[in-house]
Structure formats: structure tokens, C-alpha cells
Amino acid sequence: MSADSPSTDVPLPDFLSSSTSILLGKANDLFDEILEAAVEPFGLRSKDFIVLTAIDSIGPQSQQQLARTHGIDRTTMVSVVDGLERLGLVQRARNPDDRRKYAIGLTSEGQALLRHKLGPAMLNALDTFLAPFTHDEREIFNKFLWRLVHERGQAPDQGTGQGRVVPGGTVR
Amino acid sequence: MSADSPSTDVPLPDFLSSSTSILLGKANDLFDEILEAAVEPFGLRSKDFIVLTAIDSIGPQSQQQLARTHGIDRTTMVSVVDGLERLGLVQRARNPDDRRKYAIGLTSEGQALLRHKLGPAMLNALDTFLAPFTHDEREIFNKFLWRLVHERGQAPDQGTGQGRVVPGGTVR
DNA sequence: TATTGTTATACTCTATAACTATA
DNA sequence: TATAGTTATAGAGTATAACAATA
């Protein structure tokens, strides 16, 4: 094994176990697990919940709009909507203004499930995930995440001004 | 089921756009992009970097140990090590104490690449990712992530929340 | 009998290309 | 010509099962 390594002053990258990069991945994996476990009893995936919530909030939309908003491919959205329709949670109606498009809307069952079952289940999942935090800390953490995602491209404060402009992603 | 209530008092789950769950996923996706872009010039994936760093820190290990430590399947680890060996960054030596096991170690080229090129590239990637934060905020964010991952199973700890189990782990 | 590394296989997830119907 | 939805297909990525060598 090696080691002619000049053992220079170059610091060894300490990304293991306590590094932000590793921790972020673990936190994300952990939340994914909690999230999927929360919706699995309803025969859904977390992606289904997001789509249902988007329709409930914004109203009936085309499949492409749903796809673009959430960074999902339109061909993938077909099967997502297929599944939700098979479960009777959404329905495909034609958009009278443009008959190429659907207007994907919630059924009454879909809306009821979302508001009475799925919503609480997801809130509970988030609460489980954020259990180590106090209420105030949860708000701070949320603000941190928001800045991490949205404060891109401008000059922050320190560090290399190497901020990169992240493509895509505009969410209101 | 019944369709009656579009206007019940049940609050609509506000998971969209500014929710912690969505933001966490986006932050993770963003960091993944930055990370993969940082190691791609070296013909590597982020997973390769993690494995190299683990060997450099802990020393030669079996493939199973590497796999278990990082939550990767052992059959997947075969191809990861294959790739790293093909690039001349690691070498497979037999463990004399247990000839079933390999002792995967860094070559001098692997160690040099890791310390002089990959390490700085990854630090730079992390710096880009954390650009919106000041130095102090980066430490706070890191502590938040650490608690999220490690402070599991105990009570929510509604107290200060700060300091307790958190080791003085290096925050980088 | 159990474990390490390996291969072959299967499964999941997603993206690409091509088709239709509409615009 | 361009777009919305669909289908078939292909490509990652990863997990499962079985095998040989070793414990």
C-alpha cells in the first residue's frame, strides 16, 4: 500500500460522519424513509402525495404542468396519474379550451383522503423527522433550507464568489 | 368519501414550495448536482470519493466493511472497487488473517489524487453549496443536521436543544 | 455451517423516440 | 409546425440468488 505519499500539509478531507455533505444525505434518506412509510398504508408513494397536494392547492392542471412543476418527466407523469386515477383519487377531464390537454382534478374521494388522512399523516411524518428540534429551531431550520435553495446566484457574503446559477427550479 | 366538504375546517397541508420536506429534497438534489459535477472531471462519482476517503481515513478494509459502512450493497461494492482499481486508485490485497477478505487500500496515485485534487474539489463544492451562509451559520446548519441524524429515539428535548450529545465534530 | 467476493439475473425508476390528436 | 398525451423501449442503478473459496 502506498505510501510514498509525501504527507504534505494538504489537509485530509474530513467528510466522514460529521461532514455537512454526508449528514445532508443521511438526513434526506431518513426523511424519505419516514415519508414513504407514512403514505405506504394508502398504497401511495410520496410523489403521489405531492401531486395530489398540488392539485388541491392550485386546482385542475394538465399533466405537463404537473410534470414540469415537480421536475418529473411527462412520460412518468402518465403512470403517476394512471395510478391515482385507478385508485379513484383523481379524474381526467378534457380542457375545453385546449382539447389536447387534460384537466386533472381531485375526486371527492381524493380530496377527502388528502385532507383527512394523507395530510395529517404527512404532518405527523414531518413532526417525527423534526422531533429533535424545538418549535423555534424548526423555523430556523426551514429558513436555512429556504436560503440554501433560493439564495443562489447573488453574492452572499463570504467564501469564493463562485456561486453558481442553478437552472430550473423556480417554485412559487 | 362523500364529496360534501370542500370547505371543512381541516387545514390544507401546506407542504408546497416552502415546506421543509420539499426544501430538504431540493437542497439535497442541488448538492448532489454540485457534488457530481465536482468529481466528474476525474471520471468518478460521489460514491467513489466517499469510498476513497473512508480508506484514507480508516485504512485498508474489506469490501463488505466498506459496503456496510456506507449503506451500499456488497454486490454493488464489487463494481465500485472494480472501477477504482481500473483507474489505479485502489488495489486489492488479500487479508492474511482471513483469506476470504480483501484489504482494499489506496495506491500512491489514489492517495495523491484524493489529497491534492479530489479533496480540494469537494471542499470547493461544499463551499459553493453553502455560499448563502456565513461561517457561523454553516456551523449552526451542520449541528442541526447532526442532531437530525443522530438525536433519534430520545425525547424531543424541548429545552435549549443546543449542546448535549453533539460532539465537537469537525465542521467543514 | 457461515462468510467473502463474484456473477448472473431481475426489478425499479426514469428518460428517449415515435406515434395520435389536437392546435 | 408545435404541443399534450401515450406507448414501447432502453438505460441506469440496485437488489436477489446462487456459486466457489475460505473460515
Q: How confident is the model at residue A87, as a pLDDT? A: 97
Cβ-nearest to B127 among A152, A160, A172: A160
Nearest to A36 by CA among A48, A53, A27, A24: A48
Chain-chain contact of A112 with B171 (C-beta, under 8 angstroms): no
Q: Which stretches within B87-161 are classed as H helix?
A: 108-113, 119-129, 135-150
The nucleotide lying nearest B71 (C-alpha to C1') is: D14
Q: Name A81's Cβ contacts closer than 8 Å, sequence gap at least 6.
A: A51, A63, A66, A90, A92, A102, A104
CB contacts of B6 in chain A (<8 Å) are: 111
- Say which CATH class B20-150 falls into: mainly alpha
Average pLDDT, chain B: 84
Query: Which residues 47-86 of A have a C-beta within 8 angstroms of B?
Result: 49-50, 53-54, 56-57
Q: How confident is the model at residue A150, as a pLDDT? A: 93
Shortest distance between the Cα of A99 and any Cα of chain B, in A, equals 27
B99 beta carbon to strand C: under 7 Å: no
pLDDT tens, residue order, chain A (172 aa): 333 333 333 433 455 567 898 899 999 999 999 999 999 999 999 999 999 999 999 999 999 999 999 999 999 999 999 999 999 999 999 999 999 999 999 999 999 999 999 999 999 999 999 999 999 999 999 999 999 999 987 654 443 333 333 333 322 2
Shortest distance between the Cα of A19 and any Cα of chain B, in A, equals 6
Q: Are A23 and B142 within 8 A, CB to CB? A: yes
Q: How confident is the model at residue B18, as a pLDDT? A: 74
> Crossing angle, helix B20-39 and helix A135-150, to 10 degrees?
40
Residues in chain A, total: 172
Task: Classify the C-alpha dihedral A40-A41-A43-A48 as positive or negative.
Answer: negative
The H-or-E segment that residue A105 falls in is strand A102-106
Burial of B90 (0-12, 13-18, 19+ CB in 10 A): buried
pLDDT interval class at B32 (50, 70, 90): very high
Nearest to B123 by CA among B83, B171, B80, B163: B171
pLDDT of residue B161 exceeding 70, the answer is no
* Strand D nucleotides in reach of protein CB atoms, 7 A cut-off: 3-8, 13-17, 21-23
Q: How confident is the model at residue B85, as a pLDDT? A: 98
Q: Residue with C-alpha cell 453533539?
A: B166
Cβ-nearest to B141 among A115, A122, A144: A144
Here the cell at position B58 is 480508516
Mean pLDDT of B142-149: 96
pLDDT interval class at B164 (50, 70, 90): very low
Chain-chain contact of A119 with B34 (C-beta, under 8 angstroms): no
d(CA B102, CA B55) in angstroms, rounded, equals 13
Q: Is the minimum CB–CB distance between B87 and chain A shorter than 8 Å?
A: no
The distance (Å) linking the CA of B99 with the C1' of D23 is 9
Nearest to A50 by CA among A19, A76, A21, A26: A76
Q: How confident is the model at residue B93, as a pLDDT? A: 98
CA distances from B56 to A11, A18, B115, B121 (A): 12, 16, 9, 16
pLDDT of residue B2 exceeding 50, the answer is no
Q: Are A50 and A42 within 8 A, CB to CB? A: no
Q: Where along chain A do its domains lie?
A: 39-150
CATH 1.10.10.10 fits A39-150, yes or no: yes
For residue A29, the one-letter residue type is D
E strands of chain B, at which residues? 90-94, 102-106
Nearest residue on chain B to A4, alpha-carbon basis:
B108
Nearest to A45 by CA among A28, A33, A57: A33
Nearest residue (CA) to C1' of D8: A75
Q: Report pTM.
A: 0.81
Chain-chain contact of A159 with B20 (C-beta, under 8 angstroms): no
Mean pLDDT of B79-85: 98
Q: How confident is the model at residue A5, as a pLDDT? A: 34
Q: Which of A4, A10, A22, A23 to mutate to test the interface with B (most CBs of B within 10 A)?
A: A23
Q: Is the minimum CB–CB distance between A116 and chain B shorter than 8 Å?
A: yes
Query: Which residues 95-114 of A have a C-beta within 8 angstroms of B?
Result: 107-109, 111-112, 114
pLDDT interval class at B153 (50, 70, 90): confident
Mean pLDDT of B138-145: 97
d(CA B54, CA B52) in angstroms, rounded, equals 5
Q: How confident is the model at residue A16, as a pLDDT? A: 58
Scanning residues 42 through 81 of protein chain A, those with a beta carbon under 7 Å from any atom of strand C turn out to be 45, 47, 72-73, 75-76, 79
